Amino acid sequence: MQFRSKNSAHFFINAATVAADLSVVLTEAKNISLEAMNAKALVARAGDNVRTFKPITDFMVELANDTIWLVKEINREALVLSRTSLAELHSSDANLRFAKAQQKASTAPYVETLDPIAKMAYNQHHQQSVQLRRHMRKLFELLDEIESRMLAANVVTATSRLEAATAADSYQASLEGIVVKLEKAANRIKHIATKCRHSLER
Amino acid sequence: MKVIKLHEGRSHEWLVFGRDEERPSKIIDTNQYMIKTTNHAIMLDPGGIELFSAMLAAVVHHVPVQQITHLFASHQDPDIISSLGLWDKTLPHAELHAPWLWEGFLRHFGCNSIRYNPLPDEGKSLRLDDIELQFIPAHYMHSSGNFSVYDPQAKILMSGDIGAALLPDGAPMFVEDFDAHVDKMRLFHQRWMPSNRAKKDWVRRVRQLDIEYMAPQHGAIFKGRDVQRFLDWLDELEVGTGIK
């Protein structure tokens, strides 16, 4: 992750866009949660026929809950980041304007009265830049987290396929359907998380 | 930025800042004013954000920045006061005198430290050391909450957008040929000023004042007899022509 100040003018837009994109992830996470409920009901009905599928349904519930929580966190952080990047942009602009005034007034009798103001503008800009980097790091950590959850989901879907294949014929199709839906949702979430990361890195 | 001393008296001086050569070409030229007294200074219509650096640099040729304790905004337009957010950082202990009507709007420019002193519709006075400035109502000329500033000692009326003219770059700071100048003011007043009734009211108020200089926010400054000629011209002019 690399923050480049030349892009800061567009950065607050990108951060706000990320928050909007994540609403899709939230929908997918809710779909996983729904599929997990279906799977639980199926496992309860099938009893010993699909006993090995129970830990998978537990994982799906956990995955859905974690994803919903993560998306909410990312969304909150993206909005904070958008606000922070706008504040950074304003402080950068103020810093430049005070520096320009100092330069233009270099021969003025009272130019030194600008020094504390220009210094304060410089410090404020520095602080805003530090804040911006901190929030960037936090957001990337959360995106990392969601991507790694989805990689785990891919591993689980591979295992689930094997389990579904060994289940009784009457349950096989239903279990495979659940696995396919989980896999699709995980891939879609991963795709969006990667897209969000690229938007922020642009 | 060109700076001209408009008045130098025992107790105070008036400075006008304008004709900034580095101004971005698509931005309307503006005149900013500063009154400097023994211990204070007030900036009248300090200008837009794009002009801020040039203004600040020009100001410190005449006063230490801490001496600026007051700002005045005749109305809410961006060329008048969109620099407020930066003055707010520069002069955190200053007061802004501006129409009460625009407080909630002007604060969008950034006014976290500066104290907003809302001017009532009927106007008020402000004492700065040995002088007393009068904020004269100029509502609907052109803004719905609008004031001019009169200094009875220096006999200067800062008229905001009233008397404004759209002039080419490098034009003189004072009206030199009133008859020729009229052509450069007509459209501005006919289109920007919305109300004949408001215009008559302002002219009536201002005719009661003893004015040596009438100093608008755009264009050239009127002096001596041209002030009365301007008032006569404006009195007769049909305004609000945007509605056919």
For A7, A81, A147, the CA distances from A197, given in Å and listed in that order, are 15, 13, 10
Angstroms from B176 CA to nearest CA on chain A? 31
Whether B161 is in a domain gets the answer yes
Ranges A43-47, A190-194, B165-169, B181-185, most confident: B181-185
Euclidean distance between CA atoms B220 and B31, whole angstroms: 9
Contact between A104 and B64 using a beta-carbon 8 Å cutoff: no
CB contact (8 A) between residue A100 and residue B53? yes
Q: pLDDT tens for residues B10-46? A: 999 999 999 988 888 889 999 999 999 999 999 999 9
* Phi–psi pair at B58, nearest 5 degrees: -70, -40
- Residue B137 has phi, psi (to 5 degrees) of -60, 135
pLDDT at A7: 55
ipTM of the complex: 0.90
Interface touch A110/B63, C-beta < 8 Å = yes
* HEC readout, A88-156: HHHHHHHHHHHHHHHHHCCCCCCHHHHHHHHHHHHHHHHHHHHHHHHHHHHHHHHHHHHHHHHHHHHHH
Kindly compute the dihedral angle of the four CA atoms of residues A13, B28, B221, B150, in this order, to the nearest 10 degrees: -20
Q: Which residues of chain B lie closer than 8 angstroms to A122, CB-CB?
A: none
CB of B197 within 8 Å of a chain A CB? The answer is: no
Question: What's the pLDDT at A171?
Answer: 84
pLDDT beyond 60 at A2: no
Mean pLDDT of successive 10-residue segments in chain B (244 residues)? 95 96 89 98 97 96 97 98 97 97 97 97 98 98 98 98 93 96 96 97 98 98 98 97 86
- How far is residue B75's CA from residue B137's CA, in Å, rounded to a whole number? 11
Helix (H, G, I), strand (E, B) or coil at B204: helix
Strand (E) or helix (H) holding A26: helix A8-46
Shortest CA distance to A92 belongs to which of A130, A65, A134, A139? A130
**Which residue on chain B is closest to A92 by alpha carbon?**
B86
Sequence ranges of the domains in chain A: 5-201
Answer whether A108 touches B (CB < 8 Å).
Answer: yes
Per the CB < 8 Å rule, is B89 touching A121? yes
* CATH number where B146 lies: 3.60.15.10
Percent share of chain A, pLDDT over 90: 34
Contact of B52 with B17, CB cutoff 8 Å? no
Neighbours of B23 (CB within 10 A): 19
- Mean pLDDT, chain A, rounded, equals 87
Residue A70 pLDDT exceeds 50: yes
Distance CA B233, CA B1 (A): 31
User: Quick check: is B200 in a domain?
Assistant: yes
The residue whose two tokens read 């920045």 is B65
Q: pLDDT tens digits for B200-225?
A: 999 999 999 999 999 999 999 999 99
User: Which of B53, B58, B65 is the closest to A117 by Cβ?
Assistant: B65
User: What domain range includes position B140?
Assistant: 2-236
Interface of B with A in 201-240 (CB under 8 A): none
Strand runs (DSSP E) across chain B, as ranges?
Answer: 2-8, 13-18, 32-36, 41-44, 68-72, 95-99, 115-119, 124-128, 131-137, 147-151, 156-160, 213-216, 222-223
Q: Using CB atoms, pick whichever of B61, B66, B85 lies closest to residue A105.
A: B61
Q: Is residue B242 situated within a structural domain?
A: no
Number of independent structural domains in chain B? 1
Is residue B129 a part of any domain in this protein? yes
The mean pLDDT of A74-99, rounded to a whole number, is: 92
Please report the number of interchain residue pairs, chain A to chain B, with beta-carbon separation below 8 angstroms: 56
Distance from CA of B55 to the nearest CA of A (A): 8
- Dihedral (C-alpha) B226, B232, B238, B242: value to the nearest 10 degrees? 30
Measured in Å, how far apart are chain A's first and last C-alpha atoms? 10
Are residues B220 and B162 in contact, defined by beta-carbon separation less than 8 angstroms? no
DSSP states of B127-166 as a string?
EETTEEEEEEE-TTSSSSS-EEEEETTTTEEEEETTT---
Look at A113 and B57 and tell me if their CB atoms are within 8 Å. Answer: no
Nearest to B30 by CA among B83, B92, B108: B83
pLDDT tens profile A131-161:
999 999 999 999 999 999 999 888 888 888 8
| Of the candidates A100, A77, A92, A97, the residue with the CA atom closest to the CA atom of residue A128 | A92
Checking if the pLDDT of A5 tops 60, the result is no
The better pLDDT of the pair A51, B10 is held by B10
Q: Which of residues 67-96 of B touch A (CB under 8 A)?
A: 85-86, 89-90
Supply the pLDDT for residue B104. 97
Which residue, among B123, B135, B114, B151, has the nearest Cα to B36 in the 3D structure?
B151
- Tell me the chain B residues in contact with residue A117 when contact means C-beta distances shorter than 8 Å: 65, 89-90
